Amino acid sequence: MENLHKVGGSIQRINKAKSLLWQGRVDDALAKLSAGIACFADCELKQAENFCVYLEKHRHRIVNYQYYQAEQICSIGSGAIESTVKQIDRRTKISGAQWKIDNVPQVIAHRCAYLNGLIFAR
């Protein structure tokens, strides 16, 4: 979303594309954005094309955020995810601890299960 405004064009078209992307409707958003590419000035054309290429490349990562937010399934902000990754990273680098690379996924799986209340600490 942070680069959508760089595409240019009418505010209505940008807002519609933003709404479509929020709903995970990448194909519809691409169609909306591509329809206006021919109308862009040369400086905006490259940014619009780059954004469409980005959407194509990352379409598998673009989910229906509106659904997840409405269902309160998980945090959709990247800050919470990045913070969790840093916490896991710190815990796997405890001073004096030695980790076999093969065991790290199991440690992370146990930690996730614990945090989700699936197992209890003794």
pLDDT in tens, 64-116: 888 877 877 766 666 777 787 787 777 767 777 777 888 888 878 887 888 78
Q: Return the higher-pLDDT residue of 43 and 25.
A: 25
Q: Is the domain of 84 the same as that of 62?
A: no
Do residues 17 and 39 both lie within one domain?
yes
- CA–CA distance, 106 with 116 (Å, rounded to integer): 15
Q: Would you say residue 84 lies in a domain?
A: yes
**Is there a domain that residue 120 lies in?**
no
Question: Do residues 11 and 58 both lie within one domain?
Answer: yes
pLDDT at 29 over 50: yes
On the question of pLDDT at 44 being above 60, the answer is no
Average per-residue pLDDT in the chain?
Answer: 77
Provide the domain count of the chain.
Answer: 2
Which 8-state DSSP code applies to residue 89? H
Pair 25, 66: CB distance under 8 Å? no
- Written as six digits, the tokens of 94 are 């405890």
48 and 99 part of one domain: no
Please indicate, yes or no, whether residues 59 and 96 belong to a single structural domain of this protein: no
SS3 86: helix
Q: Which residues span the domain enclosing 93? A: 77-115
